[in-house]
Amino acid sequence: MTLDDLDRALLRLMVADAAQPASALGRQLGLSQPATWRRIRRLQEGGILRGRRLQLDAERLGFGVTVFLGLKLATKGRVSLEDFERAVGAIPEVQVVTHVLGLYDYRLRVVARDLADFERVLRRRIMTLPGVGNVEANVMLSEERRPGPL
C-alpha cells in the first residue's frame, strides 16, 4: 500500500491525538470530513492503522515502577515455548512480552506499585515460570515515544 504526504500527515496527527474526530483532523489538513474518513478507512483496511491506545499516567494510578527484564530460558528444548509464553502473558503486571534474538530470549515490560511490589512479582510469578534461567532487570527512569518515520 502506497501512502501520499496527506496520509503521512494524517498518521502523524493521529499518533499525537487519536481521539480527535475526523472533522477536526480534516480541518488541519484542508480535507473535508468524508475525505478524511475515507483515508482513515483505507489506512485501517491496509492494516497500517491497527487501532488506538489509551494513554494513562501510570504513576498517578499508583504504578510507580516500570522494569524491563531480559530473560533467558535455562532449559531450551525441554520446555515448550508455547507453555512459557502462555504463562508469562497471563501475568497482569507483565505489559509486553517480545521474543527476541540476541543476548536474551525474551524482553518483558513489567509494571508494579513500587520496588517491593516488583520484587514480589519477580519472585512469585516470573522466577517460578517453567524454564526461566538468567534474568536481568533494568528499572526505567524515563520514557519518550517518537512518531517514527512518517
Partner 1 sequence: MLDDKDRALLRRLQADPSLTVPELAALAGLTAGQATRRLDRMTADGVIRGQTAVIDWAALGYPLQVSLRVTLDKTVPGAFDAFLAAAREVAEVLEIQTFLGRVDVRLALVARDLAHYQDLYRRRILSLPHIADIEALMDVAAVKSETGLPL
Least separation, in Å, of the C-beta of 15 and partner 1? Answer: 5
Largest CA distance in the chain: 59
Q: Which of 17, 83, 114, 119 binds partner 1 (CB under 8 A)?
A: 17
77 binds partner 1 (CB under 8 A): no
63 binds partner 1 (CB under 8 A): yes
Least separation, in Å, of the C-beta of 127 and partner 1? Answer: 17
Phi-psi region at 140: left, alpha or beta (left = phi > 0; alpha = psi -120 to 50): beta
118 binds partner 1 (CB under 8 A): no
Least separation, in Å, of the C-beta of 20 and partner 1? Answer: 9
Q: Which of 46, 83, 119, 133 binds partner 1 (CB under 8 A)?
A: 46
Q: How many C-beta atoms lie closer than 10 Å to residue 107's C-beta? A: 15
136 binds partner 1 (CB under 8 A): yes
102 binds partner 1 (CB under 8 A): yes
Contacts by residues 12-21 (CB-CB < 8 Å, ≥ 24 positions apart)? 12/147, 12/150, 14/40, 14/49, 15/147, 15/148, 15/150, 16/147, 18/52, 18/53, 19/52
Q: Which of 68, 72, 130, 135 binds partner 1 (CB under 8 A)?
A: 68
Q: Quick check: 110 and 69 in contact, CB under 8 A? A: yes
Q: Interface with partner 1 by CB under 8 A: which residues?
A: 1, 3, 11, 14-19, 46-58, 60-61, 63, 68, 70, 85, 88-89, 92-104, 106-107, 111, 136-146, 148-150
